[in-house]
Structure 1
């Protein structure tokens, strides 16, 4: 759980959009996983003063509180964890509903889920805690594994989930969903909403990909219905398909594939096809039109 350069850039971009951090809560006490040269590049881009941090022992982690307070204007930077090992402000297992009444519910201008909820088995409860802790008019941040990170936590996440959760009818405004490729710190990829393009937005590539999400809470919310994936919520699926016609005759392609299978060639050809696809996906770019490249430095640079 921590703030890397992508997460720091997301915090900066959100600040430019008017997000306030006066009282910030992090899910997990956030350590800084940012190289000194990255931090200096960011400081110069944003026109910020040098960051003053408390002295620490060699090898000890750097935590997020000085950065939030000095660069982002936080008056209070709190954290919650199930364990006291990193001395979080609040102790709570996010698998369990947040106690009520409590002073923390609806108290925070910004709630940061940077690398936490993938480690919590009961995701629906943990997510509900996150949005319940955020005040009306406040903002929720997520940075979560999306692709090629199997084994990192319990889950990898599809953008479909957050497009579905952060809908106006649920009491939210979704300000952005981006993919960040770990090997490319200069770019994000804005993700298309499956409901807008009327199809699934998939990704198969060869690099670790994180998803960045920013949403504004518009109102206090009551119980919400379980999300349905967007294509399953379309009329045909909800109302039922039209009557099935007679079985169609096999196409030329289907007959050809069957013949290859009879000759014992199909497995070798498929293996070759997958190797070719892996080579094509080895680059850092993500495919248009579902993913639109964003120059992060141009996005967050402060004009002089």
Structure 2
């Protein structure tokens, strides 16, 4: 888990439009190092976004990213992990519900490739929601394509729109695919909401070879709430005006699964 150049670009851009207020957290403790041969790319990104920093002051000797996060205005980030082998300050298994004492405690949560390694993804996503306070943002970058045998899962943009927008009522500020180490510059592929057209994204022939992240930013609002029935966007649109098992089950008072 680490902040590479592609994620560095997104974090720098985010820092120009969002500053958290209060505690901040990363899922896992992420590394950060500027490779000497591409230092110019990091410098160019900072200058292009008019961020008054240099590459020397955003790195730390142990190779982790707290200094970068602090310099970008994201506060003194705490780290949550299963073990303290990388120095995490909060030990918790994301397969299990987070303690209520941590609910609503964080104004910014960064997941730079952790949830893809957690088996119980629904619980991990629910944990991220519960950890956020209203107005807080969750930023995630996990494998979308080209990461065989890396984690337990790769993720689709449908997860963002189905879970975060329709299930939780959060604002989706960004949802895109980002190619890692692209040839000929950065490659970003926008992922719009499929429910707006009632059909799935047509990505055949549009996804380049190589590793890609599913990158997204969501905001929990005062009205956001966890629902107990998660349905895929295009199916939900098709089923809306028809009898369906979900509506029957809820009407009967059965516990959703």
> TM class, shorter-chain normalised?
0.7 to 0.9
Which residue in the other structure is 2:255 paired with? none
Distance in 1 (alpha carbons) for counterparts of 2:96 and 2:89: 17
TM-score by length of 2: 0.82
Given that residues 83 and 91 in structure 1 are in contact (C-alpha distance below 8 angstroms), is that contact kept between their aligned partners in structure 2?
Answer: yes
Change (3 A) 1:168 1:231: closer
SS in 1 for 2:196: helix
Distance in 1 (alpha carbons) for counterparts of 2:200 and 2:231: 13
- Structure 2 stretches lacking a partner, 5+ long: 245-257
Larger Rg: 1
Change (3 A) 1:186 1:118: same
Which residue in the other structure is 2:27 paired with? 27
Distance in 2 (alpha carbons) for counterparts of 1:122 and 1:165: 15
Which residue in the other structure is 1:211 paired with? 214
| 1:69 is the counterpart of 2:73 | no
How far apart are residue 88 of structure 1 and its match?
0.7
Given that residues 161 and 233 in structure 2 are in contact (C-alpha distance below 8 angstroms), is that contact kept between their aligned partners in structure 1?
Answer: no
Distance in 2 (alpha carbons) for counterparts of 1:33 and 1:229: 38
Which residue in the other structure is 1:89 paired with? 89
Distance in 2 (alpha carbons) for counterparts of 1:222 and 1:192: 22
Distance in 1 (alpha carbons) for counterparts of 2:21 and 2:190: 24
Which residue in the other structure is 1:191 paired with? 191
| 1:42 is the counterpart of 2:21 | no
Q: Deviations over 1:64-114 (max 9, x none)?
A: 1111112x12332111100111001111111110012x1x32121110011
Change (3 A) 1:160 1:192: same
Q: Deviations over 1:198-248 (max 9, x none)?
A: 21114354221111100111027554223211221124586269xxxxxxx
SS in 1 for 2:77: strand
| 1:52 is the counterpart of 2:73 | no
| 1:12 is the counterpart of 2:16 | no
Runs in 1 of length 4+ with deviation above 6 angstroms?
Answer: none
